[in-house]
Structure 1
Amino acid sequence: MAHILSVQSSARRQGSHSRALSAELIEALGGSAANTVTVRDLAEPVPQLDERWLGANWTPADERDTAQARALALSDTLIAELEAADLVVIGVPVYNFAVPAALKAWVDQIARAGRTFRYTEEGPRGLLEGKKAYLVVTSGGVSVDSAVDFATPYMRHVLSFVGITDVEVIAADRLVRSAPESLEAARNAIGSVEPLAA
């Protein structure tokens, strides 16, 4: 049984294409009957970084006081969810050419030196190796991987930075102009996904 982490960042709980396609993808991978699925719904806000968080993060773990440990508690939980996952499905609606603020806040919480990456003489090295990720990218007018898509390459880079280099994109883009065709292409891509081994 594999462990799937589903990270959903659409502000819409109902009528969201990224949420619907993510659910279809998870079902194609074997669903919750064959796998353990953890859902992190970013419609429940993840706080942005603040001065207390930064101070706690840069304090060595064995020197943190109770308040500093509390400041990093959610970050620790989010990182533990990633560490436990064999596969990550991230719903990425494109808002104003980039990722939603909620998803950026999640990235800031999980990109931590010493936990998900470390500095070496050769540069940063990701510590979450051996995992696969799917980006379910939806957009109203932006073509995925076009010159004005700042969401998809950003998420690929962030995942690679923390060690997740096996990243596959399932796109339903330009939905305002060609929703039926784009959604059909995304569902065809989902249909070609091999279920996770039991």
Structure 2
Amino acid sequence: MERMNAAAAEIDAANSQDPNRITVDGADYPAELIYGQRMSAMLARVYPDASEALRLAARAQHIRRWEVPRNTYPMDRPGYLRWRKDLGRKHAEWAGAILADLGYSDDEIARVGALIRKDNFRRDPEAQAVEDVASLVFLAHYAEDFAAKHEPGKVIGILVKTLGKMSEHGKAAAAGLDLPPAVRAALETAIAETAAS
């Protein structure tokens, strides 16, 4: 536990350098610092028995994300997918360097990296858990702002895709979230569309 707490503190220290800011309860914070903490909180809520590797992967999911801006890739679907894949590799690399400094073994570092990248998430329950938690954090904390900037049809389409990547356990957790009314309505529509397809 002491080593894991030290790793989380180092991940937080890295994310504290994020120049992008977010306001929480009237105070200003680095955006990725808050994201990592939200991932950990959601993981503890939905997967309370998570392994150490899973806890570390959740905390490091967006480590130093701002260093690979979206606009450095083509602004189309293939560009987006390549950006996401490259980000996964970088997040795993940056987290791995922290873990190596703290004495984690090569196998432990490799496992955390695989979870950060969500390798084989359809077949790996822990990688699926990372996918679930990331989706739940989006719904709980970021979907309202996203919905305000996009047409309702696009929002529902994104939520249908989000649900399609979640496990049944994750979907049940999503249904239990306390969501803003607009997000709740869009999610219920997406759930109905998913069930009908």
Shorter-chain TM-score category? Answer: 0.3 to 0.5
Output the TM-score relative to the length of structure 2. 0.33
Output the TM-score relative to the length of structure 1. 0.32
Q: Which has the higher strand share?
A: 1
Q: Which has the higher helix share?
A: 2
